[in-house]
Amino acid sequence: MSKDYYEILGVAKTATEEDIKKAFRKKAHQYHPDKGGGDEAKFKEVNEAYQVLGNKDKRSQYDRFGSAYSNQAGGFGGFEGFGGQGFNINMDDLGDIFGGFGDMFGFGGSGRRKRSQRGADLEVGITIPFMEAVFGVEREISFAKTATCKTCAGSGAEPGSNPETCKTCHGQGKVNQVQQTMFGRIQMQTVCPTCHGEGKVISKPCKVCRGSGQQRENVTMKVKIPAGISNSEMIRLTGQGEAGEKGAPSGDLYIKVHVTPDKRFIRRGDDIISNISISFPDAALGTKIDIETVDGPVTLKIPEGTQSGKVFMLKDKGVPKLRGRGRGDHLVEVTVKTPTDLTRKEKQLLEELKNLK
């Protein structure tokens, strides 16, 4: 049965949107079944014609394919007619309601296929002594993580069986849902309730992971901690975190390094600082002192007349630079001890010294 929607509404093929709207209102008034002299069949026809011609896309499709289009009623993806339920709305608003309706419900827009989730990042702490942070170390760490199930290789299906195409959505991951509203039936797309959007269902779940495709695993691995790492710094191992869902990439593993302090050294960036105390005569006359560095003892020459608070630099005896080449320096801060609890002899000598000046 072929229908000419233009004829039904009584407009020319060249009619404007406004003409079509006007014609529809007029005809809808005329045939409304609640009115005396109304005609339900005609009313439905008018309504059907307006749904097509009142919509720019549908109208151009109709113009191209003609009445063949009316055979695939589902293809209009919207109303399926008024179906004879009670129908009471202000006829003057009719056109506007229909015009805006499709936009309001966003036909066909929802129901996106679900994407598998990337695994979570994982953080593991490790504590190392000061000297290992300076020169680097290889350490073994153990921790538990979510890994890909070894039995089913992450598919979640029992070995030998395969996930099957979902029968509810035929692998589309989404389904059309028809809803009753006061305006008639509306068709909407939603995520498939059977497969939750994956398009596949597991008929025989893997016995080890119960279909999740994942299992907890204790991992022991060696980690290279680079020379020069500082306290609280992180090492990132890409893809070593928790396994992703069903073949999605794993998260990253972060190793947080805690460095225990060393009584002998203070670290400031790549430099190391230590303090020494020297006697007043050594400061005045000069001396040589063995200084402990991270490379072992180094002899430092204290020149005569050294003041308290003076800083000497032992070049390149600091921490290797984590990013870049070379090393920091070792800075030695000198404190001159002022003598206390002097003996009589010492006091006498200091008095003599004082009087010489």
Judged by CB, which is closer to Zn ion: 235, or 248? Answer: 248
Task: Give residue 114's identity as a one-letter amino acid code.
Answer: K
- Does position 192 interact with Zn ion (CB under 5 A)? The reply is yes
Q: What x/- string results for residues 262 through 291 when contact with Zn ion is judged by CB under 5 A?
A: ------------------------------
CA distances from 235 to 226, 229, 257, 328 (A): 9, 9, 8, 21
- Does position 206 interact with Zn ion (CB under 5 A)? The reply is yes
- Does position 149 interact with Zn ion (CB under 5 A)? The reply is yes
Q: How far is the CB of 297 from Zn ion (least distance, A)?
A: 59
Q: Among residue numbers 38 through 67, which ones bind Zn ion (CB under 5 A)?
A: none
Judged by CB, which is closer to Zn ion: 42, or 246? Answer: 246
Contact predicate 282/301, CB 8 Å: no
Q: Among residue numbers 160 through 179, which ones bind Zn ion (CB under 5 A)?
A: 166, 168-169
Judged by CB, which is closer to Zn ion: 152, or 188? Answer: 152
Q: Which two tokens stand for residue 156?
A: 């979640």
- In 10 A of CB 207, how many CB atoms? 11
- Does position 308 interact with Zn ion (CB under 5 A)? The reply is no
- Does position 191 interact with Zn ion (CB under 5 A)? The reply is no
Judged by CB under 5 A, which stretch of 125-133, 136-144, 195-203, 285-293 contacts Zn ion? 195-203
Number of residues that bind Zn ion (CB under 5 A): 12
Q: How far is the CB of 57 from Zn ion (least distance, A)?
A: 28
For Zn ion, the binding residues (CB under 5 A) are 149, 151-152, 166, 168-169, 192, 194-195, 206, 208-209
